[in-house]
Amino acid sequence: MKHYHIGLLMGVFDMYHVGHLNLIQRAKEHCDYLRVGVLTDELVRKFKGHDPVISQEDRKRILESVRYVDEVVLIDETSRLHEWHQRPFDCFFSGDDYSGNPYWDWEKKELNKLGADIQFFPYTESISSTMIRERIGKGEDQ
C-alpha cells in the first residue's frame, strides 16, 4: 500500500476498544500525519437513531491521548468529499466492512479526481461498539 502525507479516519469511536486501536494504528503506518474525525453526538443520533454512550467531547479527548493520532476534529457531516473540502487529506482510511458500497465507490472516484484516495483495512470482527452494547444489555462479562 502507498504511503500518504495526510490521512483521515472518521467514526463514532464510542466505547473505545481494540478494534478502534487496530484501525488507527494501521492508518498511521501508512501516513505521516493522521487526522481523526469524531462524529458529533447530533450526527450519531441522526444516522444511528440513538445517542452514543460516551459524549463527543470525551470521545475526542480519548482519541487525543492515542499516540498514533496527530489531530482530532469534530465532524458534523459524514461525506468524505465534504470533509476534503473543509480540511484536505491524501487518503481516507476505513474498515473493510464499508468496501463494495456503491456510494463509497462513487465517492472514491470523486476523491481520486481531487488527488485523494480511500484505502480499506481488515475489520476487527471480534469486537465492535455494537457488540459491547449488546453484551452490556445481556449482562455478559465478555
Average pLDDT, integer, range 124-131: 60
- Residue 102 is predicted with a pLDDT of 86
- What integer pLDDT is reported at residue 46 of this predicted model? 94
> What's 4-138's CATH class?
alpha beta
Contact by Cβ (8 Å): 41, 52: yes
Residues paired with residue 4 on neighbouring β-strands, in sequence order: 31
Query: Residue 22: its pLDDT value, please?
Result: 92
pLDDT tens-place string over residues 67-110: 999 999 999 998 999 999 999 999 999 988 777 788 889 999 99
pLDDT digits (tens, 9 = 90+) for 9-62: 999 999 888 889 999 999 999 999 999 999 999 999 998 898 999 999 999 999
Report pLDDT for 104.
Answer: 87
Q: 58, exposed or middle or buried, with CB in 10 Å at 0-12, 13-18, 19+?
A: middle
Q: Global pTM?
A: 0.86
Q: What is the pLDDT of residue 90?
A: 98
Give the start-to-end residue ranges of the domains of the chain: 4-138
Stronger pLDDT, 109 or 124, i.e. the higher one: 109
